[in-house]
Structures are given as structure tokens and as C-alpha cells.
Amino acid sequence: MIQRKEYLDNLMALKDKQVIKVITGVRRCGKSTLFELYIEHLKQTGVEDNQIISVNLEELENADLLDYKALYNYITSKLVPDKNNYIFIDEVQKCSEFEKVVDSLFIKKNCDVYITGSNAYLLSGELATLLSGRYIQIDMLPFSFKEYYEITKESGKSKQEIFDNYLRYGSFPYIAYLENDEKVINQYIEGIYNTILLKDVATREKINDISVLENILKTVASSIGSPISTKKISDTLISGGRKISPNTVEAYLRALTDSYILYNATRYDIKGRQFLKTLGKYYFVDSGIRNHIIIQSARDLGHLLENVVYIELLRRKSRVNIGKLAEKEVDFVATTMNEVEYYQVSASVLDEKTLERELAPLQEIKDNYPKTLLTLDDIGNGANYEGIKQINIIDWLLA
């Protein structure tokens, strides 16, 4: 089992700290497994079984605990009075008024509380109000390519072949164990996709016509790498015979990003040093989900690579934006505290004109922050164009 070390180390550093640990992320990205790994770690450090209280509200046997009073009474009945108690509530949003339970447990001195949720509105309502400044959010993503590679590298396939499968089938953890059984993988992805649409989006927004949601997702999936507006999506759907306003499209897009199936990358004016509110881009949390929605073509490779790089940068950096530079654009501006890095992504720059086009935006940036061109070209240890490094994407992902 992959240890998800980055997330596990984060939880270990927060152990017994007076904050609620909130793990969020798309369904099936590994939140429950992370709890299992962390609980095992707690036991190895001397925490006894009766100090650990774990409840998964997705499980049918816990249906009686979906009322907040029942959940609170169940947990408090198991607390060990004179020791620290470690409380794990999985998919906490299933319990109505769960924030009352979390808040009441938090104020007890011997309770260390951990919760997960598959929707961003977990922290957009009462919980955020009650716990202002008293929780830490850990955003969890599906497997990185490095994690996926660790599981599949003994298959006898080359790095390139494994990467091709990663692009094709996606990064949900269980897929790495399905040995490229395309039929089973497609069924698994379809199950995740339908659950997100029905439970996390349609139910919340009270959407009866699921086909509207799917049409919006198809439009977005066809526009990866391109600026997109709610009006453009609305116009596209109207031209196809579906009447829908830009305001409704905006509400549905917000619900889709809240469920972590989509991420919105806003634009950043590099020279003006300010964030722009219009014409951002959307990326999918997983390429397998995106490929399930539309059939990819060979010319679509650049967009898939851009999607993978964006999600990887989210793992590594605090903020990832689209860079605007007058009439030119930098694919990604990634920041962490006071550090900035610039990235361009292209399937190949072996053609001289393509190389010139991809380097041009980076060459216009006059600061001394790192600038990187990521491609699939086999360039050994990389290349350097007056300070702009060219690196193979697979090597960069495995670094």
C-alpha cells in the first residue's frame, strides 16, 4: 500500500495540536485510506485501541448516526476520560448539522478531531463560522504519477508506457491496482463520475435534469487549455438547443468545483502583479474522468499534459494561476510564500517554430525566478535557453 507520505507527514505534525484537521478532496482519492494509515501510525506510537474512535458515515451500519445528536452521543459514550482520544469522522457532511458535533468535541480538552468531506461546502457554512481560525484544511488529490509509478513499475512496461496509461486511465488510487483492465477501469470511473454528479452536485443544487450538468462538463472538457466564460458555455448550450442562463451555468460550475471534479485556475497579470477575475481556465482533477466525458484524440495530448502539470503543481505549491503578459500567456505561475516559478507545457518543441513560440512568453519575464519548459521530448539531462530550463515531463513528475 502506498503510504501517501506527504499527507501522512502533515497529519503526524498536527497530532495533538489544538486545531481540527479537515481532509477534503474528490471522492475515492484516498481520504479513508489515509485515516487507516494514520490510525496504524498512532497505534505504533503507543495509542491504545480504545483511544481511537472512527466512524465512516458512508457505511450503512452507521445510518442511525446521521442525526447530529445520535452521532455526538455515540462518540462521547466511547471517550476515555483520562487519556487523549483520537476521533475520526469520515464523510462528515452526511450528518445533518454535523458542525455542532465537531464544535462540541473540539472544546473538550482530551479530543483530537479529524474529519473528511467530499465537498467544499463543508467549510463554506456553519463549520467555518464556528471554527474560524481553529481548523486546518488538508486538500487531498488522487495519486501523483510518482505514486502511480511506484505501484506499476514492476509490470515490465517502460516509464513512457506507464505514463500513457496514467494519462488514459487517470489517477484514482484503486485504478493502479486494476492492471489496465480497460472494461473494469471504465466501469469504476463511471461509478465515481455518477456518484459525484448525483450526490455532490445534483442533490445540493436540486438539479433534476442531469443532462444539463453533463453538457456543461463536456463543454469544459473540450476547452481545457483555453480561457472559458460562463457566457460562452451558455451560448454553446443554447446553440445546441438547451436554454440556460450564464447565472445558472455559473452556479453549476461552482457546484462542480466544490465537489473537486473541476478546478478553476484564475489569471494573473505578471507585470501588473494582480489577479484578474475574468477568463480563467478549468482543469479536471483526473484525466480518466475527463477522458470518460469526451473521447480524446492524438492532437489532444498537449491539453492532457497541461491538465496533469496543473494538478501536480497544486500538490507542490500554494497557488497556481494562468500568467498574463500583455498579448502573451504563460501556462502556469506557481507560488509558495515569497517564491515564484513559471511553467510552459508542450507535447514537443523539436520543431523550431514551436520552440520559439513556447519560449517567447518566458523570455519576456525579466525577474530572476525559475522558468521551466516541460515537454515529452527525450533531451537527456535537459536543455537550457538563457536560463529557461527544458525538462522532460515524466522526469519532472518523478523528481
Encode pLDDT of 175-221 as tens digits: 999 988 999 999 999 999 999 998 888 987 888 889 999 999 999 99
Q: Is position 268 within any domain? A: no
Rounded distance between C-alpha atoms, residue 151 and residue 170, angstroms: 14
How far apart, in Å, are the Cα atoms of 245 and each of 216, 236, 249, 387? Answer: 12, 11, 6, 47
pLDDT of residue 392: 96
SS3 content of the chain, % helix, strand, coil (to 5): 50, 20, 30
- Mean pLDDT over 233-243 rounds to 90
Q: Which of 122, 139, 156 is the last residue of a domain?
A: 139
Half-sphere exposure of 59 (CA within 13 A, CB side): 8
- DSSP letter at 236? H
Rounded distance between C-alpha atoms, residue 170 and residue 188, angstroms: 11
**Which CATH number is 61's domain given?**
3.40.50.300
User: Which structural domain, as residue segments, surrounds residue 398?
Assistant: 297-399
How far apart, in Å, are the Cα atoms of 13 and each of 21, 22, 59, 144, 258? Answer: 11, 14, 29, 22, 27
**Which CATH number is 345's domain given?**
3.40.1350
- Mean pLDDT over 360-384 rounds to 93
Q: Is position 229 within any domain? A: no
> Over the stretch 46-90, which tens digit does the pLDDT of each residue have?
999 999 999 999 999 999 999 999 999 999 999 999 999 999 999
Q: Which of 139, 170, 202 is the last residue of a domain?
A: 139
Rounded distance between C-alpha atoms, residue 31 and residue 187, angstroms: 21
CA 206 to chain centre: 24
Cell of 256: 462542480
Q: Structurally, how many domains does the chain consist of?
A: 2
Alpha helices by DSSP H, listed for the chain, are 5-14, 31-44, 68-77, 98-106, 126-130, 145-152, 159-169, 182-195, 203-205, 210-221, 230-239, 246-258, 287-293, 301-316, 352-364, 393-398
User: What phi, psi does 265 have (nearest 5°)?
Assistant: -100, 115
- DSSP letter at 316? H
Say which residues have a Cβ less than 8 Å from residue 24's Cβ, sequence separation at least 6.
Answer: 31, 116, 117, 118, 119, 120, 122, 123, 137, 138, 139, 140, 260
pLDDT of residue 382: 78
Q: Which of 123, 139, 155 is the last residue of a domain?
A: 139
- Cell 510564500: give the residue: 337
Contact 244, 219 (CB under 8 A): no
pLDDT of residue 299: 62
Rounded distance between C-alpha atoms, residue 202 and residue 200, angstroms: 6
In the predicted model, what is the mean pLDDT of the chain? 92
Q: Is position 167 within any domain? A: no
Total Cβ atoms within 10 A of residue 138: 18
Rounded distance between C-alpha atoms, residue 146 and residue 153, angstroms: 10
Rounded distance between C-alpha atoms, residue 130 and residue 102, angstroms: 9
How far apart, in Å, are the Cα atoms of 15 and each of 9, 90, 101, 271, 336? Answer: 10, 17, 20, 42, 24
- Mean pLDDT over 214-237 rounds to 91
Q: Is position 83 within any domain? A: yes
Q: Is position 187 within any domain? A: no
**298 pLDDT more than 60:** no
- Mean pLDDT over 98-123 rounds to 90
Q: Is position 15 within any domain? A: yes
Rounded distance between C-alpha atoms, residue 393 and residue 399, angstroms: 10
* Residue 122 binned pLDDT confidence (cut-offs 50, 70, 90): confident
Q: pTM of the entire structure?
A: 0.93
Q: Is position 289 within any domain? A: no
* Residue 225 binned pLDDT confidence (cut-offs 50, 70, 90): confident
Say which residues have a Cβ less than 8 Å from residue 96's Cβ, sequence separation at least 6.
Answer: 66, 67, 68
Cell of 333: 505561475
Q: Is position 181 within any domain? A: no
**Which of 346, 386, 379 minimizes the C-alpha distance to 363?**
386
Total Cβ atoms within 10 A of residue 386: 8
